[in-house]
Homo-oligomer: A and B are copies of this chain.
Amino acid sequence: MKKINKTRFAILGMLFKSAKSGYSILQLMQKSTVYFWQESDASIYPMLKKLEKEGKVTSKTESTGKRERTLFEITDAGKAEFLEWMELQPEPESHRNELLLKLFFGGTVARKTLIKQLQHRLQKVYATREGFRRVETDILASISNKDPYKLFGTLALKNGFFHTEAEIEWLTECIKILDKIKS
C-alpha cells in the first residue's frame, strides 16, 4: 500500500471555504493546526503548483503596488478529491517517541540521566499546555459560536488537553518511581 502525500489535503481543506495565498495558508496552519499538523514552508508552494497542474486549484495573481500575491481557489475537482479523502479512514501512522526509546534503554545509564530527561520533557509539556490555553483564549474565544471552526477547533484542542494531562501524569509518576529507587 503506497503512502500518499497528505499535504495536498491540508491545503485543499484550507482553501475549501475561501481562496487564499500560499503565505496565508502557512500562517493559518501556524496558528491553528500547528499542534497536530505541521508543514514545512518549502512544501506549500510546490504543492500548490502541482495541484494547479492537476486542475484541483486555480490561481490568479493580483498586485498591490509592486507586491504580488497569488490567490488560489479550489475547483470542483479539488473539492471532490478533498471530500473523498474526508471519507477515508486514516491509515495507521507510524509513531516514534524518542523519550520512550531512551527510557526503554534506561538500564544502560544512571537514574539521574533518565530523571533529567523526564523533567526536561515535563517542562516542555507545561509549555505546550500554556500554548493550548493561549489558543483557547486568543483564537477560539474570538470566533463566533455559529462558525463551525469554533466547534471543531474546540474538539481538536480538547484532544491536546487530554493527552497533555495524560503525559503530565505519566511523567510525574515515572519521576516519583525512579526517585524512590536508590541506584
Contacts and interface: CB of A to CB of B under 8 A. Distances in A.
Interface stretch (A31-39, A56-64, A129-137): A31-39
A149 B102 CA distance: 12
Contacts of A91: 98
Interface stretch (A19-27, A44-52, A65-73, A162-170): A162-170
Among A96, A102, A105, A162: residue with most chain B CB under 10 A:
A105
A167 to B, nearest CB: 7
A103 B173 contact: no
Interface of A: 6, 9-10, 13, 16-17, 32-33, 35-38, 82-83, 86-87, 89-109, 113, 117, 120-121, 124, 148-149, 151-153, 155-156, 158-159, 162-163, 165-167, 169-170, 173-174, 177, 181
19 contacts: A9-B101, A17-B107, A33-B104, A36-B97, A36-B101, A86-B108, A86-B109, A86-B113, A87-B109, A89-B117, A90-B117, A93-B98, A105-B152, A107-B149, A158-B170, A158-B174, A162-B169, A163-B170, A165-B166
